[in-house]
Amino acid sequence: MTTNASATELADAWKRAHAVLPGGVNSPVRSFKSVGGDPFFVDRGEGAYLVDTQGTRYIDYIMSWGPHLLGHGHPVIDDALREQIGRGTSYGAPTLAEVEMAERLVRLVPGIEMVRLVNSGTEATMSALRVARGFTGRTRFLKFTGCYHGHADPFLVAAGSGVATLGLPNSPGVPEAAVRDTTLLPFNDLDRVRELFAAEGDDFAAIILEPVMGNAGMILPEPGFLEGLREVTEAHGALLIFDEVMTGFRLGLGGAQGRFGVTPDLTTLGKVIGAGLPVGAFGGRREIMSQVAPSGPIYQAGTLSGNPLATAAGNAQLAWLEANDPYDDLEALGTTLVEGLLSALRDAGMEASGVAMGSMFGVFLHPGPVRSFEEAKEADLERFGRFHRAMLQRGVFLAPSPFEAGFLSVRHGPEEIDHTVRAAREAAREVMDGTL
């Protein structure tokens, strides 16, 4: 489809998409099902903007769900990709670029002494769990409701009630046996973690969590929560896994673990280390990672792991970030954005709360503070959908879900923030007036 497609052509494109793709999309959130309205087809990205096939420009606060820290089409990334394409796209054999990326991750991420590159965040988390189970000889693990760790079977569970309810599958096709060893608790509830581990801690291979939740909106750990998890796991011989697929290099060069000063045993990373190309990684203490094949007996493999295009783009972005360290400026920009959004929403009569950290931000239609997924679900989800549609009409593309963080890039600036806040004032009034 070409730019400036007509409405008729757009409708036809969605008809074609629905005929061959489940729901017309290749990932559920793209369908806008949770916010209503019609998705658009992207034609191109330009800096802080997306341009759809009808020629409409949107300020992009998704940034491909995190990896585009330098924005769309940054010359550093484009040049690296063009250079690599001339040498080939995949070899199935080692490259020095893989070694360079591994050395960079070991240098920058506190918890990584050795690392394995993979192809996605989901692959990273499922591999990290396998390694934790293989290293400890245990099978049970604890995750927190609202923390998303990809779509591997053990992670697709729904929260239950009680002190520590064993998970039940919340997706058809996931057998109960796959989640029998998954235990769920609310995020930020350290007392219940301590109670669980005091009774059954020696059965657990690991605790896995997003150290800052980004898949339930943006929820920060309360003071002492991460430190408490570190103490509990050490006391019981379990491993602490930080899923930094979202927070890695988004909160700072050292990720959340560098920001909060808590070092996990294993870390997972995702597409941010490939500047948007399909890539992931899991790494941790040398004694643990040395158990991964071919050094040890825990098997993991991938034909396209360490893909040269992904490592070229990723090394270029990470080198730029290391040289320029833009995180203070990004956090200041995010704070200005959140303060402006909250002012616009509250002035229109909505309850709202939010936070910014590093290059991430989040806003809830909830009085706050929001400390868990259970509290996030108390936000006004229906009103958020209307607000999302009103913002889209004004050229602002927020995540099409009330349970997702937002992302800034170095290409966002005061002009984009000002436009967004002005749009939010108009959109909020329209929502509250009932005209949308």
| Tens of pLDDT, residues 312-365 | 999 999 999 999 999 999 999 999 999 999 999 999 999 999 999 999 999 999
Q: What is the pLDDT of residue 163?
A: 27
Written as one letter, the residue type at 346 is R
Q: Which of 52, 58, 271, 327 is catalytic?
A: 271
Q: What is the pLDDT of residue 165?
A: 36
271 annotated active-site: yes
Whole-prediction pTM: 0.95
Does the structure show a pLDDT above 90 at 6?
no
Q: Which domains does the chain have, with CATH numbers?
A: 7-61+326-433 (3.90.1150.10), 75-324 (3.40.640.10)
The closest alpha carbon to 43, from 34, 31, 51, belongs to 51
Q: What is the pLDDT of residue 360?
A: 98
Q: DSSP label at 353?
A: E
- Higher-pLDDT residue of 71, 10: 71
Q: What is the pLDDT of residue 424?
A: 98
Q: Which of 52, 189, 243, 265 is catalytic?
A: 243
Half-sphere exposure of 205 (CA within 13 A, CB side): 18
Q: Which of 148, 181, 265, 327 is catalytic?
A: 148
Q: β-strands 165-166, 353-357: how paired?
A: unpaired
pLDDT band at 40; cut points 50, 70, 90 = very high
At residue 375's C-alpha, the angle toward residues 63 and 68, to 5°, is 10
Does the structure show a pLDDT above 60 at 213?
yes
The DSSP string of 58-87 is EEESSGGGTT-TT-BT-HHHHHHHHHHHTT
Q: What is the pLDDT of residue 156?
A: 82
Residue tagged 């329209």 (tokens): 430
SS3 29: helix
- What value does the mean pLDDT take over residues 362-370? 96
Which contiguous run of DSSP H or E holds residue 46?
strand 42-46
Per-residue exposure over 228-246, b if at least 16 CB sit within 10 Å of its own CB, e if not: bbbbbbeebebbbbbbbbb
Q: What is the pLDDT of residue 166?
A: 42
Q: What is the pLDDT of residue 178?
A: 83
Lowest mean pLDDT among 17-31, 97-111, 229-243: 17-31
Half-sphere exposure of 368 (CA within 13 A, CB side): 17
| Tens of pLDDT, residues 160-188 | 323 233 445 567 888 888 888 999 999 99
Does the structure show a pLDDT above 70 at 74?
yes
**Size of the chain in residues:** 436
Q: What mean pLDDT value characterizes the chain?
A: 93
Residue 334, classified by CB atoms within 10 Å of its CB into exposed (0-12), middle (13-18) or buried (19+), is buried
| Tens of pLDDT, residues 248-278 | 999 999 999 999 999 999 999 999 999 999 9
425-429 LR contacts (CB < 8 Å, sep 24+): 425/344, 425/347, 425/348, 426/390, 426/394, 427/344, 427/387, 427/390, 427/391, 427/393, 427/394, 428/344, 428/345, 428/347, 428/348, 428/350, 428/387, 428/390, 429/348
SS3 10: helix
Does the structure show a pLDDT above 50 at 106?
yes
